[in-house]
Chain A
Amino acid sequence: MSHRTTSWIYTRCLCRALRWHILRFNFRQQHYSIARTVDQKDGISPVLISRARELAKEHSRLESELSDSFDSSTAKKAGELGPVASALNEWDKARDSINELQTLMKDSTTDAELRELAADDMESAVQDLKRASASLTLSLVPKHPFEQLPCLLEIRPGNGGDEAALFAMDMLRMYQAYCSANGLRTTLVKFDTAEGSADPNGSASPLQVAILEVTDEGAYGRFRSEAGVHRVQRVPATETKGRTHTSSAAVLVLPSFPDATNGGSASDFEDPTSDYYVDPREVRVDIMRARGAGGQHVNTTESAVRLVHIPTGITVSMQDYRSQPKNKEAAWKLIRSRVAQGRREIREAEIMQTRRDIVGVRKMGRENKIRTYNYGQQRVTDHRSGLTLHDLDDVIAGGQALEKVMESVRQWLVDGEIQALAAENPPNAKGQSHI
């Protein structure tokens, strides 16, 4: 009797090769107060300006500290505040020149010609101030902690059967084309179809899940706007009566953490007090192997690996490679991303709760329909930014039109951040007298 039943046997991997899985993430907490009321003329709230001044002061204090003795954490803090300080500097310059022009124009001793020149300059000075205000606001928006990381795009068919699988495949091709057009490097980490193909070009079988890794720095910041349910309305190739179907594909965007062995920026994850720390002792490693006698008695090809993050129950299995170590490596990559993403979502939910009473919720998650692709009308509408383009072909081909849509969502995210920050700290009297 031979036994081909398989079972998961767990083991804890002690090897040093896994040391790099110890991942700590340094979450920069930034709570800048921004007032809701916005000064019409300056295009920016007075409280926001006063906050910027405080931060700029802090920045110059840190800089002088650094000139006495160098300390890397001080340098890091100073580096983070640098953009605020320089944006404020620009804003001050723009405001000063407006004030100068105004005084000139008001001054009765100014001759008519000069006054005219001043009036001409006024227009461009106002534009400068607007621009400076915008970049000052932006510098105060907290950066997403994973912004700079590479990312994983996970694409799965949603409702709609085979048509959804076809659309998921179209989405994969769309992102691949977008990446190659923009010089971004990608790897297809996982590509499962019903028949298990690894060859995206030679398979007619419906896609079940694809994971595309975009390995360039900053890819997470670029793609995080893509997370959610994408809806398609079109006549499927298989439809004989010419009816339009509605189906969908779900996109999950996860930050991808560089491993120390690849010389990545692992030092970013070395803060032991950080929330973003995955302890390998909390991860159970299950290895699929043959039940029965094992050893020389069997020659199975089981190489599947399953990782379970015990505190959260997050589970990842990987069986795409014949080599077990390769499956393990790929599974670790996924679980680190999922755990971190889970924590980020909890964090966001908490922040969201505090904001909920004050502003309308800008929710963005995997359950929400975020975009519609309507083939009949050649239309793409993003439901968050509200942007509609009648250039579906170029969007699906991953061209400039897709970048336009994505950019509109990034802008929408920033707007939401600013609104929310303003709402978080209602204006108070303190600081308003600063300008």
Chain B
Amino acid sequence: MPRLLPRSILHAQSENPLLAKLLPTCRSLASARNELRWLREHAIDHHATERSPASKGDNNNWRARLKELVARRARGEPLQYVLGTEWFGDLELVCRPGVLIPRPDTATAIGYLVQRMLERDPHKWRKTLRVLDLCTGSGCVSLFFQHEWIRFMPVIPEIRTIGVDLSPKAISLAQLNRDRLLRTKHEDVERHKASQASHFYDTAFIESLSNTSFLHADVLEESQLWQKLEAEHSLAADILLANPPYISRWGFQHSTERSVRRHEPKMALVPPLPFSIPGKDCPKRADSDDLGDLFYEPLVKTALKSDAKIVWFEVADIEQAARVAHLITSMASARPEQLELWREEPMPGIEGLEGKDEIYQGFIVKGRGNGRSVVWWRDG
């Protein structure tokens, strides 16, 4: 971690006292400046919408508000909770304390997944496409996947999406995000009636958003989950996506940022210990619990049960990626060639174009950065 030089704190102080307050949290002058600018925009906008838009020039009130926002951020509260939104790819989603903030790595992986499906066979998916997003949180994966599909795929079938989460807060936030997107898309359609390209996209997105629902259920209790899904419409799925809690207890203490530990919900990050799951007879292997792998076995079971053709899981690192890949090959007798381990930036780099894929523990690895996902092409 770079040390903050007293000089840069002094510098910030002389520029703007608020900047100096943000510096310890933001760690660099450049990012402190950006955050201060976004906070200021937020303070001014918020102020303007709270009153009449005319009161925008009413300086003192937004300044007071900005001071409050800066104080919250300076105490380590995530900027996304302070501002109330985060960008996920090019979707702006609402964030609330109690629900995990969507991460850019996740958006990158989902975007790349759609690109790969496009490259593999753009015309394959013609019938109703059923998407299952387990551990949906803010709903970001469910919502972004359909958005990307509609933007890039040449064929747009009926898309039916279900997002599942155990946290009631997450379910209501996911619903809110869906409804908010629906509203803005409806407004967009009203506004640019003339522009054909965006009209087509907007109406398709409205349709698929209307076919998106969020379900309160426990992913670790497979049989109950399956019953609930059956009741919703059908258990069958074409695409299964999941970003479950995957941080080990050790990782939570040692490689998780303080602001995450203090402000984001632990149940979204660290799997529970097996014996703490009521009414569940679990293997008592302390070491495997400690690795944070608890969710992947039930997830693979649901993938098999729903007969998903494409499965994507987010993971903590390349070791966990390999463990999950081994789990899949042993549980489902999948061929190793059907599996891919993706890093944070899975798309090929400029030099990577002619280079060969890396192999890790017998699996193909794509891209650069930390290990971030496992993809299982069951149709491949």
Contact = CB atoms under 8 A, between A and B. Distances in A.
Interface in A9-29: 9-17
Interface stretch (B36-44, B277-285, B296-304): B36-44
B317 interface: yes
Contacts of B197: 261
Interface string A214-253: 0000000000000000000000000000000000000000
Contacts of A320: 34, 37
Interface residues of A, number: 49
B272 interface: no
B35 interface: yes
Contacts of A292: 255, 257
Contact of A294 (B2, B28, B79, B372): B372
B166 to A, nearest CB: 16
Interface string A246-284: 000000000000000100000000000000000001001
A354 interface: no
A15 B152 contact: yes
Contacts of B19: 195-196
A14 B350 contact: no
Interface in B102-119: 103-106, 111, 115
Given A195-B16, A322-B87, A6 B316 contact: no
B40 A198 contact: yes
B210 interface: no
Contact of A302 (B31, B246, B251, B369): B31
Contacts of B370: 293-295
A311 interface: no
B257 A297 contact: yes
Interface in B17-52: 18-19, 27-28, 30-38, 40-41, 44
Contact of B257 (A196, A299, A319): A299
Nearest to A292: B255
Contacts of A297: 247, 251, 255-257, 260, 316
Nearest to B244: A296
A359 interface: no
Interface-central residue, A15, A16, A303, by most chain B CB under 10 Å? A15
A403 to B, nearest CB: 31
Interface string B245-261: 11100010011111110
Interface in A290-315: 292-303, 310
B368 A11 contact: yes
A425 interface: no
A10 B349 contact: yes
Interface string B362-374: 0000011110100
A365 B72 CA distance: 47
A385 B109 CA distance: 57
Given A14-B115, A301-B79, A323-B92, A4 B27 contact: yes
A287 B368 CA distance: 12
A2 B44 contact: no
Contacts of B105: 289, 294-295
Nearest to A3: B1
Contact of A6 (B28, B40, B348): B28
B172 interface: no
Given A16-B152, A294-B372, A299-B103, A324 B87 contact: yes
A297 B256 CA distance: 4
A202 B44 contact: yes
B76 to A, nearest CB: 11
A62 B79 CA distance: 64
Nearest to A298: B257
Contacts of B379: none
B314 interface: yes
B190 interface: no
Contact of A1 (B34, B255, B369): B255
Contacts of A67: none
B152 A195 contact: no
Interface string B346-362: 01111011000000000
B90 interface: yes
Interface in B59-116: 59, 78-80, 86-87, 89-90, 92, 100-101, 103-106, 111, 115
10 contacts: A2-B260, A3-B255, A9-B345, A10-B349, A12-B349, A295-B316, A296-B316, A299-B80, A324-B87, A326-B90
Given A12-B349, A195-B36, A298-B257, 16 more contacts: A2-B258, A3-B255, A5-B1, A10-B368, A12-B353, A17-B151, A196-B34, A281-B350, A289-B344, A293-B255, A294-B344, A296-B245, A296-B256, A303-B87, A319-B30, A325-B87
Interface of B: 1-2, 15-16, 18-19, 27-28, 30-38, 40-41, 44, 59, 78-80, 86-87, 89-90, 92, 100-101, 103-106, 111, 115, 151-152, 197, 243, 245-247, 251, 254-260, 264, 268-269, 314-317, 344-345, 347-350, 352-353, 367-370, 372
